[in-house]
Structure 1
């Protein structure tokens, strides 16, 4: 068992080293492109006063940002994620004024100058760190190949070959060369991921978001979510108004008419008046039930009284398909957060029932380290796409209002996995449980 574990660990180490070496080759390519784009960008910036740069800079900048985006992806593969730091560009207007405005936005973005510095430094840093793992691998393989007997062929042709500090002129020296090559191979396997991680940290120091871009991104996100909240609230108000107008209000008007008719016939036709009163009482009960349904649609009583866990279990019990619920939320959240998660999970489950052609689903709800995570899985046909449906887009907007996210995986044929995450704090213990 220990041997198998050792082999598995060695295999994973070699896989990581090979992956890092491949990323190093990509970095070598980015180093060459960095030099070309640095020169082009510098010339375009210098020629702005001549007018040519006004046209060149907006054309070169997207190429620079694609290259730095590739470096961010390589860094992310090394375990160092780097967020995009760019401020939003204004829409390109027609005419020369639009090009000047675009150049002004590019030049006033601090990330532009940090990109330029990264291009200059990456020409050396990217080339050196990217080439080092490949050099170590090739050198170690070269030593192993030469030590197996190729040194004899080279010696017969009159070439005295040295490997490291060892002259390969005899079998003992060849064995020593093999040991050196194995040591180089071990150094490569141990250091290659760390070398690429070092470049990733270097890239993050220049390509990561500045404080200004973080604030701008946050403001943009808040503006978008505020607009979504306003739209959602307006939609909810229209729904409530429509339900009241078409439901309870209409029934209350009908009850008033029945009571008026009953009062007119109370003396002349008591039997008819009694029938109208019975109808009015029935309509009153129906109106009350509609009002209760409307209230449940605004804020379900089970959510207010028992908390999110029991409210989700209630949804599962009412579902026409089998739904397994597992929860671990040792407390209550703020009412708006609970309501958002409740309706989001309710909508996801409704989508499963209506569109997934599934007969079984599961909901896993947990709160750890200040993050509420809900995972909904069904055994349906898959193919769900948030871009093609208003329901999933609505869930995404509802989550974004609370800085949350919805990640959807739904390949054709299933299964569909929806992961909802919201940062939130617990402020009181749960009150009850089924």
Structure 2
């Protein structure tokens, strides 16, 4: 029960933050709308055309502020770019009509909801402290915002405050997050880039993805070459040397031949073991034998830190995607065991709507950085090569949450 209450209050507080931050852009939108309306009226009268371009730039600036706010909430809404300075360019800008529509919505609905977000904490504090001021004028105060009963004794005042606590927890957890989504909805709906802009952005994104894929491929080839050169090749050279020495010893000192052959056999076995390890790193055979779910379960079972598992990957992905998922989890759990100082970890993998979502969480000391050039950087390159996304949350003191999403093509 208590975890659910804490979770509900947490969602409510996050919703309050969004409402209050949305009030800032709503106030800017309201001020801009107040300036835009006279400009439109003047244009209808034929005397306001010179003010159209400056007003359009003001609308774009406010819309970009909202795009930045929504980006912090997880919505990727790239700006169409600077507004043209000529009247002709403004009138042909395809994003401007949607931005004006958003301006009208956010300056009215968004402003009212943001104002509610500012006033709500004050109302909550007033209601929860009812027991401290119920004797003050006016006489016979009601149960404040909920208006239930009147207080004549301290016990009644305490009951009213307790009732207010329950009521506001329900409102925080159930209503405020919805109001925050309603406030952000016009921006997510109307501030999306024009399809032509989106196509250009997609071309840039695919170009970057292709470069990442080529880099990841080159790095993987270098890793395989280094493993073969520094490991298996040296072992096989040792086998050759030992066999040559054994051949010469047959005529000179036959008693040493058996020892040399034994050493040669050990070197050959080591070379075979290293070759198997290299081949498994290219495409782990456990994926073909047990599937992705079985392979990930095995990684969790062999983790150096106790790891809980929650898997829902009934279907199959492309072999390269499953190999990348296996590598991501293996590297993540290795990092947890080596660097995090964690006592436990959790692994979840879900396959939904053609997207494979992987999440590795640990209770360590945090402070991980995906840009530090460590194994996390290798994870990022592999994920980007598949046009996937990586999200790392690791505040100092923990917990660390690594979330990866991969398109599960066939």
Q: Which TM class, normalised by the smaller chain length?
A: 0.5 to 0.7
2:25–2:62 contact (8 Å) kept in structure 1 = no
Q: Does 1:420 align with 2:400?
A: no
1:225–1:397 contact (8 Å) kept in structure 2 = no
Q: Which structure is larger by alpha-carbon Rg, 1 or 2?
A: 1
* Structure 1 counterpart of 2:78: 84
Q: Secondary structure at the match of 1:413?
A: coil
* Structure 2 counterpart of 1:165: none
Distance (Å, rounded) in 2 between the aligned partners of 1:315 and 1:18: 39
Deviations along 1:7-58, one digit per CA (max 9) or x if unpaired, are xx9xx99x9899869846742432323666998xx86997xxxxxxxxx99x
Alpha-carbon spacing, 1:66–1:305, altered in 2? closer, same or farther (3 Å): farther
* Structure 1 counterpart of 2:31: 32
Q: Does 1:71 align with 2:66?
A: yes
Alpha-carbon spacing, 1:112–1:81, altered in 2? closer, same or farther (3 Å): farther
1:74–1:200 contact (8 Å) kept in structure 2 = no
Distance (Å, rounded) in 2 between the aligned partners of 1:265 and 1:195: 84
1:34–1:119 contact (8 Å) kept in structure 2 = no
Alpha-carbon spacing, 1:264–1:69, altered in 2? closer, same or farther (3 Å): same
Q: Does 1:405 align with 2:389?
A: yes
Distance (Å, rounded) in 1 between the aligned partners of 2:245 and 2:16: 88
TM-score normalized by the length of structure 2: 0.66
The structural deviation recorded for 1:342 is 0.5
- Residues 289-304 of structure 1: pairs in structure 2 closer than 5 A: 289-304=273-288
Unaligned residue ranges in structure 1 (runs of 5+): 1-8, 47-55, 90-101, 138-149, 151-189, 428-434
- Alignment length (residue pairs): 334
Distance (Å, rounded) in 1 between the aligned partners of 2:406 and 2:88: 34
The structural deviation recorded for 1:207 is 2.5
2:206 alignment partner, one of 222, 225, 231: 222
2:308–2:346 contact (8 Å) kept in structure 1 = yes
Q: Secondary structure at the match of 1:255?
A: helix
The structural deviation recorded for 1:416 is 1.6
Q: Secondary structure at the match of 1:419?
A: strand
TM-score normalized by the length of structure 1: 0.63
* Structure 1 counterpart of 2:321: 337
* Structure 2 counterpart of 1:352: 336
* Structure 2 counterpart of 1:361: 345
1:323–1:361 contact (8 Å) kept in structure 2 = yes
Deviations along 1:374-412, one digit per CA (max 9) or x if unpaired, are 221212111222233432233233223333222222222
2:93 alignment partner, one of 110, 113, 123: 113
Distance (Å, rounded) in 2 between the aligned partners of 1:392 and 1:112: 45
Alpha-carbon spacing, 1:344–1:275, altered in 2? closer, same or farther (3 Å): same
2:300 alignment partner, one of 297, 316, 330: 316
Distance (Å, rounded) in 2 between the aligned partners of 1:403 and 1:111: 36
Q: Aligned Cα RMSD in Å?
A: 4.6
The structural deviation recorded for 1:278 is 1.7
Unaligned residue ranges in structure 2 (runs of 5+): 1-7, 40-48, 118-137, 139-174
2:32–2:59 contact (8 Å) kept in structure 1 = no
Q: Secondary structure at the match of 1:388?
A: coil
The structural deviation recorded for 1:257 is 1.8
Distance (Å, rounded) in 1 between the aligned partners of 2:285 and 2:339: 28
* Structure 2 counterpart of 1:280: 264
2:390–2:403 contact (8 Å) kept in structure 1 = yes
Alpha-carbon spacing, 1:31–1:234, altered in 2? closer, same or farther (3 Å): same
* Structure 2 counterpart of 1:146: none
The structural deviation recorded for 1:283 is 0.9
Distance (Å, rounded) in 2 between the aligned partners of 1:20 and 1:109: 34
The structural deviation recorded for 1:230 is 1.0
